[in-house]
Chain A
Amino acid sequence: MRRTLLQGLLHRPLTEDLPRGEEAACITLARRLDAAAQRMLGRGLSIRAVDAGSCNACELELHALNNALYDLERFGLRFVASPRHADVLTVTGPVTTQMREALVRTHAAMPAPKWVVGVGDCARDGGPFAGSARCCGGAAAVVPVDLWIAGCPPTPSALLHGLLTLLRRPPPGGTAPAGG
């Protein structure tokens, strides 16, 4: 183990700069972000993820944000276990009828101010599961969504850019997406 740790210390970090590219295209603001809340939250966000019927691929990419190459925490973003500790709720999946109540309750358990980020095409409008009688057709049908990150699933860099938008730090190499 000592060897592995030592190599880790001597090696240059694997973490990469925030990737540039067309990520901004994947991000849409659903509501005007409250400037006061943004100021209040400063430069850190605690995120609670809820899978509301995802195929689990969106979860895999959310997980990838924690790996050494993306290293989410260097931006002050971290996933937390309890909604009571969270500023941001990420919702994946089309919101199945059987996850609806759990989603509502998780959102209700978060202290204000709070934001909701719809992750993936499913969360937007049901995506590939749109039209199913077993789904609510996306996150906005159940909780107020502030921001969408498109993709099936969104890549980790799209996710990073999207979450950083909440901190009102325009992604380098691109402008902050227009409000709508």
Chain B
Amino acid sequence: MMSWQEAADCLARGSATLLSLWGEPGAVHLALWQDGAVRHLAFACPDGRYPSLGRCHPPAIRLERAVRDLDGLDPVGLPDPRPWLDHGPDPASYPFLPAEGAHLHQVPVGPVHAGIIEPGHFRFTCDGETIVRLEQRLGYVHRGVEALMQGLPPDTAARLAGRISGDSTVAYALPFARAAEQASGTEPPPRAVWLRAVMAELERLANHLGDVGAICNDAAFSLMHAHCAVLRERTLRAAAACFGHRLMMDVVVPGGVAQDLPAAGEAILRALIDEVRLRVPPLVRLYDATASLQDRTVGTGIVRPELARQFGAGGFVGRASGRDFDARRMPGYPPYDALAFDVPVLAEGDVNARVWLRIREIGETLGLLGQLLDRLPVGALRTALAGQDGEAVTLAEGFRGDVLIWLRLEKGRVARCHARDPSWFQWPLLEAAIEGNIIADFPLCNKSFNCSYAGHDR
């Protein structure tokens, strides 16, 4: 097995990508993506100290700060002594990084924002309208989910997993269920595996439709938003008709799924696919042919491909900047190995590329839904979890990117769980992407990232 030092070297050299870093009393864990596989290593640190990876690999910094806050493990050599998820007894004393210059001014925004938005703080330092530095401060929606899960039966913990980031409830419930199955040595029935993919793709469709409209809305083009919001609503209603809940919460469960597609389900979903196929192309033409909109999205908020690669950014943020990674393909999981789909990748890395990535993925998702319905296996929906102790690391591709779950089961209960949202490696890139842009473009840029506050803070 790889040593901690070797792992640090691989990360710094770029021959491995950091998937997550988390702690428990006396040990720190690391998950890496290397040579097309997920590697998990644990480093025993009985004295509560371990050599910092963030020292030589910046994407680890926030994770190490979080581990220090939540598990009390000290990353020796980490240059940033500030807390991250735990604001401590005196939150107002948090020192933001300095920005110096003659004409600079600061604009503090949040945690309460001006819309129906999750809470977080943004500290802008500007020179006139131009942003010189953005610094984020997150953690406001830290609910202590991982601590709450300890000792719960897997079924109850799965409900919590599905509420780490509500817009990705399937994308969390799925890797959680797979981790519980792998840890306990359980094989879910094929029909359940396929139905889970139906739900995952419906979730992706609803979110991408919502995002495309919302991004255009932040560029003051509300027409797109109005049309996309109707299509999103249709998708949620189809989900409710098929799975009993608009967002499909608590349907993916350890061992299978909690309910079957009703008799009318296939027809409902096929009608939805047809409607989206019919209505999206004119909207895409509208997006592409509206010069005032293109003026806002093209060339705005560029994420450089090197940075996307270094941070291992997943989802549309990574793929719009040339990082060809999709957990459905690599490492892959059933039933996607039996389905045909493209993983679109673009190189420009601007807001426009992140919009186009979503548009292309909507097309792929419709294709996947059709294939899933064509070949849905018959049979059982759920198997009881086998009783064996064990642990597992799983990845699943949500609409936003790859969600990682690490789960350890002992005596049929959750001993520990760690959930890493894709936003962990996207939020820092937003800080970089906004540099040199005007402050009025921040909402647009932020929406094109659509990072999860709840998923990050958990």
Contact = CB atoms under 8 A, between A and B. Distances in A.
A64 interface: yes
A102 B111 contact: yes
B229 A67 contact: yes
A115 interface: no
Interface in A42-86: 49-64, 66-69, 79, 81-82
A64 B165 contact: no
Interface stretch (A23-31, A93-101, A161-169): A93-101
Interface in B124-172: 139-145, 147-148, 159-160, 163-167, 169
A64 B213 CA distance: 13
Nearest to B214: A63
A33 to B, nearest CB: 24
A94 B454 CA distance: 12
B91 interface: yes
A153 interface: yes
B282 interface: yes
Nearest to A58: B166
Given A4-B223, A99-B141, A133-B147, A51 B286 contact: no
A10 interface: no
Given A55-B163, A56-B453, A134-B142, A50 B247 contact: no
Contacts, number: 133
A152 B249 contact: yes
Contacts of B453: 56
Interface stretch (A124-132, A141-149, A170-178): A124-132
A5 B142 CA distance: 43
Contact of A63 (B114, B116, B147, B227): B116
Given A60-B247, A67-B232, A67-B233, A82 B114 contact: yes
Nearest to A48: B112
Contacts of B118: 51, 54, 56, 59
B119 interface: yes
18 contacts: A1-B290, A3-B282, A4-B283, A53-B140, A53-B143, A55-B454, A56-B167, A57-B169, A59-B116, A59-B117, A66-B229, A67-B232, A98-B139, A99-B141, A131-B148, A132-B143, A132-B148, A153-B166
Given A56-B452, A64-B236, 5 more contacts: A1-B290, A54-B454, A59-B166, A101-B91, A132-B145
